[in-house]
Structure 1
């Protein structure tokens, strides 16, 4: 059983920084693996997301194993490690995608749930390629302030604003059951939202989410996803920048950190095969505010893994 160090016995400032003070080992005798994917050369505005994984790890040492909101001690039900970072190729997104797929495939073959931290959002296409290789087209649950379904940016097809269009084109996503939540902010035109709908995604804008309320949004997510195998992609700019300033393309009018956590907690009961959290940019993260939110979102993701295992017993 792999679990975090006990911080009542070993101070949090002792030892190398791993997520939640998990052991840094490569093993398949686990239920989940935390991985960093520190690639940021497909970002269109601010860069520095390559430092996101270590920034999240640095704060995550404050996390404890019991989740009071879900009433579960994670490590009573599952074992996990910090698998370290995937070797990315700065400036070469295609070789990076190959490395991502190659690194994730052995974990997926063993039914280990990956929990990945970026990096910019372009990396999600590599994640989806690995999951589709294992499960076929997978259902996408996407929390973000942007749909990331542009055809190109600066004429480039592979940017952090294009992965979920490429995923549809490559047949990686079961788009009929996929959903995007949180889209908002100034756009180039109505096609920025309509394009996602035309690709087949169900889209709930942030205004619609506010009007519906979290409970109703979660019902719609569950109805849309059903019993299909799903992948969760969570851009930290889903949150309002008051709660996550450390990101490349912040948009006003988003959820609070509490609401952002509630959206993840509400995914309990779905057949989630993997997660990623992207776009944390430490240089703009005053007081580690974004790291607090990001590590907490990942904690809720891992809690879902434990709850799924508990429910299956």
Structure 2
């Protein structure tokens, strides 16, 4: 079912096996054990024990894989065939303890780190945003402090929830405190909605974050937004973390903490494509909650976002 030609093993041929048939892997890619190696690995983490409102993101990896069946192998905007340029695989799920957040965080760091140590770059589909912290720990183990581009309706730099330091609302405060991030190159994109107080913004600024709100994207447009982000990031190693609630609920109803007034899926994808040529070293797409989705709108958006991250990584690897 996989093409027996030299070079990377690509997706199942959809002219032979219909897209709706067979066991779902991301974009119908080979599993890691089938390919034997990976330049880019898509990894699921079915975990949502860090959420503060709607649960259900533990079911996202499976839903995103199903929604990715229609992805095709050529990206016309970036002019790259990512699955032919490098070996991309579905590395399955990292199984974590749903009852112990501390243990889950350590498992994610260890397992993601083992994949990265093989030379693979990792694109994660979660799961809730708590996972960004152990993923950043693994990335920093390999690259040192990295630039962060964080797409989200929320800041996720709060200190604790109910006295707990590790939740989906705290990962980037912890990441700054642990020295995982280059504080000269931190940006939130798409933030909006009410906060607990002005101090939230003041504390976020002290951590080093710049903010481009969803209203800023609407008024300034994609091109100006991309220019500002590229100037802030420079040539630093870059990690991109995408909470699907950065999109308006019209484009992503299936998420745990929806906020009105968000970005469109078109804006998000075009901003990502504007990162072409930057030193991207990994990324995640989190907070898809399939139980609240309609017609797979949110899962389809997440699958396309992950595909664009893969394409950016493949494009850079192929040109290196």
Q: How does 1:1-313 map to 2 (within 5 A)?
A: 1-26=8-33, 29-312=37-320
Aligned counterparts of 2:115 and 2:309: Cα–Cα separation in 1: 17
Cα distance in 2 for partners of 1:110, 1:191 equals 43
Segments of 5+ residues of structure 1 without an aligned counterpart are none
Post-superposition CA distance 1:182-216 (Å, at most 9, x none): 11011111222222111111221222222221111
Q: Are the aligned partners of 1:28 and 1:112 in contact in 2 as well (CA < 8 Å)?
A: no
Displacement of 1:13 in angstroms is 2.1
- CA deviation string 1:253-307 (max 9, x = no partner): 1111111111111111110110100000000001100011010111111111121
> Comparing 286-295 with 106-115, which one deviates more in the overlay?
106-115
The CA distance in 2 between the partners of 1:154 and 1:251, in whole Å, is 22
Task: Classify the secondary structure of the residue corresponding to 1:81.
Answer: strand
* Contact 2:124–2:283 under 8 Å retained in 1: yes
Say which is worse superposed, 45-54 or 213-222, in terms of deviation: 213-222
Report the counterpart of residue 3 of structure 2 in structure 1.
none
Kindly indicate whether the alpha-carbon contact (under 8 Å) linking 1:151 and 1:162 is maintained by their aligned counterparts in 2.
Answer: yes
Aligned residues: 312
The 10-residue stretch of structure 1 (231-240 or 72-81) with the greater mean CA deviation from structure 2: 72-81
Q: Is contact 1:264–1:300 with CA below 8 Å preserved after alignment?
A: yes
Partners of 2:201 and 2:258 lie apart in 1 by 17
Compute the TM-score of the two structures, normalised by the length of structure 1. Answer: 0.97
Find the aligned partners of 1:215 and 1:19 in 2 and give their Cα distance.
Answer: 30
- Contact 2:32 2:38 (C-alpha < 8 Å) held by counterparts: no
SS of 1:139's partner is strand
**RMSD value, Cα:** 1.2
For the 8 Å contact 2:9–2:84, the answer to whether it is kept is no
Structure-1 separation of matches of 2:229 and 2:319: 20
Distance 2:172 2:36 in 1: 30
1:152-183: per-residue Cα shift (whole Å, max 9, x none)?
11221111000000001111111211211111
Q: CA offsets, 1:226-277, max 9 Å, x none?
A: 1111110000000011000000001111111111111111111110110100
Is the contact made by 1:196 and 1:203 (CA closer than 8 Å) also made in structure 2?
A: no
Unaligned runs of 5+ residues in structure 2 are: 1-7
